[in-house]
Amino acid sequence: MSEQSLKISGLAASVAGNQILSGVDLEVRPGEVHAVMGPNGAGKSTLSHVIMGKPGYEATAGSVTVDGVDILSLPTWQRAQTGLFLAMQYPTEVPGVSLDDMLSNSFNASGRSTDGLSDALASEADRLAFGREFLERPLNVDMSGGERKRNETLQLTVLKPKYAILDELDSGLDIDALRVVSRRVEAATNEDQLGVLVITHYNRLLSELKPDRVHVLAGGRIAASGGPELALELEASGYADYAEPGAA
């Protein structure tokens, strides 16, 4: 039995021919929360997109495995079906497609029963203080930034992946919403042993969602790793210490 983890090894990636990541190593085990922080342009979102296989983001070296399964050779939907979830920074509007339709199709593809899906959506919406009327809306259409992030979290809790990447989940959320969403994700780490990779620019989210490990992504690789105290240091001193040589 291979080791249970989301394991990123020596991952290099380029976008439109420009190398953005040049050897990222990270390992998230079930129930753990890892935070990836870094200055703007460090490649934080590129990391999430490469892991999920977004078109245009090309892994050029290294590997990403989910519980031992190499996912870089898989199409995006199969990566998701291995138990990986990406909460997007800017969730896309999909007119005319309901949450229920999308999740039913996802469940069907993996042979999961859709019995109880509607109930699960309703009870999870309640838990996230997300109005049930939003369940009827087409995906992300006419939703505020905060509503979209609750919607992302709702999908996470219903799909029940093994590992979730939360890309700037805090952007667009007010402080109350941030607390509700963080608590729900934290509960999933305890109840379902969800492994979490949080990508964030600010410490705000991490004061709610306590990370086990904090990593600084700079210059296309992990420049430093530490405990939660590292996030506090960054809050105080900024990312200047990790600026690339020669960078302004």
Partner 1 sequence: MNERFSPDVLDSAAGLSARSGRADAAAAAVTTGLPTTETEEWRYSPISDSDFVELLNGLSPVLAAPSADAVERAEQYRQTVLERFESIAASVLILDGYVVDVDVDPGWAAKGLKLEVDQDRWLAAEPSEPTKFDQLHQAFSPGAIVIQSSGQVAITDPVVVVTHHESPSTLSCPHLVVEASEAGELTVVEHQTSAAGAGLQLPITELVAGKASRLRYTVVQENSEDHVQIGRQLSSVDGQASLTSGVAAFGGRYLRLRTDSRLIGRGANASLIAAYYGDGDQIHDFRTFQHHEARDTRSDLLFKGTQDDRSGSIYTGLIHIHPDGAGTNAFQTNRNVKLSDEAWAWSVPNLEIENNEVHCSHASTVSPVDDDQRFYLHARGVPPTAADRLIVAGFYDEVLTRLPSEAARQRVQELINTKLDRRIGNQADEA
Question: Is residue 54 at the binding interface for partner 1, with CB under 8 A as the rule?
Answer: yes
Q: Which residue has the tokens 């990123």?
A: 8
CA 3 to chain centroid, in Å, comes to 21
> Judged by CB, which is closer to partner 1: 88, or 214?
88
The nearest distance, CB 237 to partner 1, in angstroms, is: 35
> Which one of 8, 42, 86, 217 is in contact with partner 1 (CB under 8 A)?
86
Question: Is residue 14 at the binding interface for partner 1, with CB under 8 A as the rule?
Answer: no
> Segment near partner 1 (CB under 8 A), from 18-26, 33-41, 92-100, 185-193?
92-100
Show contacts of 140-147: CB within 8 Å, 24+ apart: 140/91, 140/92, 140/93, 140/94, 141/93, 141/94, 141/95, 144/172, 145/171, 145/172, 145/173, 146/172, 146/173, 146/174, 146/177
Computed on alpha carbons and rounded to an integer, the radius of gyration of the chain in Å comes to 18
List the one residue out of 67, 71, 55 whose CA is nearest residue 11: 71
The nearest distance, CB 165 to partner 1, in angstroms, is: 10
> Segment near partner 1 (CB under 8 A), from 30-38, 76-84, 181-189, 237-245?
76-84
The nearest distance, CB 65 to partner 1, in angstroms, is: 18
Size of the site for partner 1 (CB under 8 A): 32
Rounded Cα–Cα distance for residues 20 and 22 (Å):
7
Question: Is residue 226 at the binding interface for partner 1, with CB under 8 A as the rule?
Answer: no
> Judged by CB, which is closer to partner 1: 32, or 167?
167
List the one residue out of 170, 194, 172 whose CA is nearest residue 182: 170
The nearest distance, CB 9 to partner 1, in angstroms, is: 22
Cβ atoms of 34 and 215 closer than 8 Å: yes
Phi then psi for 12, rounded to 5 degrees?
-115, 145
- Would you state the structure tokens that stand for residue 191, as one six-digit string? 């109840």
> Judged by CB, which is closer to partner 1: 35, or 159?
159
Rounded Cα–Cα distance for residues 123 and 208 (Å):
22
> Judged by CB, which is closer to partner 1: 103, or 218?
103
Question: Is residue 187 at the binding interface for partner 1, with CB under 8 A as the rule?
Answer: no
Question: Is residue 96 at the binding interface for partner 1, with CB under 8 A as the rule?
Answer: yes
Under DSSP, is residue 154 helix (H, G, I), strand (E, B) or coil? helix
Binding mask 112-151 for partner 1 (x = CB under 8 A): --------------------------xx------------
Residues that bind partner 1 (CB under 8 A): 52-55, 75-77, 79-81, 85-86, 88, 91-97, 101-103, 105-106, 108-110, 138-139, 155, 159
